[in-house]
Structure 1
C-alpha cells in the first residue's frame, strides 16, 4: 500500500483477497493492477488480445490440435480473458482446455508429475498430429516443454508452445519460449499517474507477442 503526498490518501492494490465491492467501499481512492469490476481505478493488460494473438500464430503455423493449459481461473479475473481470447478462434478446431491446480506451484515435484500426466494423456489422444499449446504463464510453459523433451516430442515441429508474461524463465528454457509480453512499465506509470489524475475507470494496456524458438514462425 502506497501513500501519496496529497492531503488525502490513496493506495495500490494487487491482492486478490478483496472483492470488487469491498474495494469500492474502502474509505480511500484505490488503484488496482490486474483486477476488474467496481467503482475504482483499474489498470489491466489486454488479456483478451494476448490470448487471441497466441491463437492466431498457432493457426498460422498449421497446428492441428489446440490445447490451453492453466492452473486455475475464475471468470471475474482479468486473466480469464486470455482464455476467452484464445478460444474465440477455436470454433471448428480440435481443442481442449486442461486445468490442474498442482501447476500453481511449478517448482514442486507435484507440478512436474501433473504435467507428465497431462502430456501422457495428450499423447494417447493426439499422437501424430501437430499440437499448438497455449499456457497461462511461462512457468507452466517451461514444464510442458520439459515433458516434451522427455517424451521425445520435437519442439516446435511436433508441438508449438506459447507462454504468458515473457518472464526471464521463458528466455532460460532449453528452447526459449514464445510468450505474450505485458507492458509492465506502462502499467506502473499509469498507476503512478493515477495519484494526480484519479478517475474510477478501467484502462487497458496493449500486449505484444514475442516470438522465440518454440514456434516455427519466429
Structure 2
C-alpha cells in the first residue's frame, strides 16, 4: 500500500505525539521525572486515545475526521502545559513563603529549584501541530487543484477552436482568391475534338484528352 505525502507527515506527527505522552514533562526531587501519562491525570489517557484514533484516520486517509482529533489533541497539550507551568510556579512561590525564616528554608528552596520543565513537551507540541497541519493542508491543496483544473481542461478546447477558425478563414480566403484568378471557360471558346469528341479550346493544336494533333 502506497501512502501519500500528507499521510507520511501525519504518521510522523502521530508517532511524535505518542512518544511525548510517555516522555518526561516535568522533573521533581524525590519523585523524579513525570510524564503526562504517569501523572495520574485523566487527560493523559484521553490524549493517548486521541493519538491512536488520529493515527487510524491518517492510515484510512479520512482527513476530515482528523480535524477534530488533531485540534482537540493540540488544545489538550496546550492546556496541560499551561497547567503544569502554573503549578510549578505556584509550588515554588508557596514553598518560599511557608519556609520564610525557617533554618531549613534554604535547603527546601534549593530542592524546589530542581523542579524543571522537561523535553517531553517538544514531542507533544510538534506531533500535535503536524497532525493539525495535515488535516487542514489537504483541503487547501484540493481546493487549489479544483480551481486550476477547469482552466487546464479549457486550454485544449480553446486551441482546437482557434486552429479550426484559422483553417476556415484560410480556406475561405484561398477560395475567394482562386475564384478571382481562375475564370471558367465559356462554351463559345470551346470546340469538339474530331478524334475523341471532348471539349477543347478553339485555339488548341493538340487535344489534352486523347493527345491527337488538331488542325486549325
The two structures share one fold, judged by TM-score above 0.5: no
More helix by share: 2
Larger Rg: 2
- Taking structure 1 as the reference length, the TM-score comes to 0.21
User: Larger strand proportion, structure 1 or 2?
Assistant: 1
Report the TM-score, using the length of structure 2 for normalisation: 0.21
